[in-house]
A and B are shown apart, each in its own frame.
Chain A
Amino acid sequence: MSGEEFNAQLGLCQFLPGPNVVNLAVVVGKRYQGALGAIVAPVGLLAGPFAIVLLLALLYDRYGGLALAQGMLRGIAAVGCGLLFAMAWRMGSAIKNKPWFLPFTALVVAAIAGLRWPMPIVMAAGLALSGGVAYWLLGRK
């Protein structure tokens, strides 16, 4: 697979929702081994980490009640929370036409974090509005 081809197909994986790495494994698997590859590649990608995560879950079920484990997980959760804020900041900074699009970010935060509305509805409405604005802006140029 050439770099160019890879980038082009990565485009679809990023365009569709869902875990990008899994989507990409399906594409690469299909490319080399057809339907079988499209099944084996994502399964192979996930099998190892899946087993490790279940092992951690077993440990958690057994020792998660200990104060030490709770403290450790709390520390990791705080760092994870910080990493999420940083990721949001980085992705937000990369948005072009901020005056047009950042209000949609604010609306999503209000609807999801504030009002706790169901995400499928918020995303459908948000995508119609935000995508509509983008469609209009693209036509204006």
Chain B
Amino acid sequence: MIALELFLEFALLSFVAFGGATALLPEMHRVVVEHHHWLDDTTFTHLYAIAQAAPGPNVLVVTLIGWEIGGLLGALAATVAMCLPMSVLIYLLIDRWESFAGKRWQKAISIGVAPLAVGLIFSGATLIAQAAQFGWAAWLLVAATVVSNLRSKLHPLWFIGVGAALGLLGLV
């Protein structure tokens, strides 16, 4: 049953989701598109785009993927799988957090995980570019977004709006 498979795949992923759902993009693509062939490249990038434009936490890209693969049950299975394991762990650990916060091993993990998360997010960006088969105009928009996002404090929704408009005009 596909909802169960989705649940198991995403529950496994939730254990390595350092950096949140964004960091999982490359792995979700590997599992969903390359391994199971549940979705194709184009649909995957479309779902990513919808999740970007939608309000709410970015974990909801998982919901969209679940929906396209397994309908309402799939959407629920994928979302719950992504959130549940760590929620339970947090529930159990929060009262004891103070006893290991600041310990050398805890700090080492926090420091050690950061460069890995950067690599995952960078990989996610290259993967979206590959899957969407960007032409020169799209790459120009990517570059413009990077530069203006790093140099301004504009809300990301402004960028999304510009991207949507340029896309609607057929310029990307």
Contacts and interface: CB of A to CB of B under 8 A. Distances in A.
Chains A and B bind each other: yes
Given A26-B87, A85-B146, A88-B121, A127 B94 contact: no
Contacts of A11: 97, 101
Contacts of B113: 127, 130-131
B159 to A, nearest CB: 5
B16 A119 contact: yes
Nearest to A116: B30
B18 A123 contact: yes
A52 B14 contact: no
Contacts of A18: 14, 17, 20, 82-83, 85-87
A71 to B, nearest CB: 4
A95 B142 contact: no
A81 B125 contact: yes
B143 interface: yes
Q: Helix, strand, loop or mixed for chain B's interface? A: helix
Contacts of A104: 112, 115-116, 119
Contacts, number: 335
Instruction: Tell me what chain A mostly uses at the interface: helix, strand, loop, or mixed.
Output: helix
A113 B126 contact: yes
A54 B63 CA distance: 8
B145 A78 contact: yes
A64 B46 contact: yes
Contacts of A50: 56, 60, 63, 75, 79
In the A-B complex, the 7 residue pairs with the smallest Cβ-Cβ separation, listed nearest first, are A75-B167, A49-B56, A82-B145, A108-B119, A79-B163, A131-B112, A18-B86
13 contacts: A18-B82, A26-B90, A42-B87, A49-B55, A57-B64, A71-B167, A82-B142, A85-B122, A85-B146, A87-B121, A104-B116, A119-B27, A130-B112
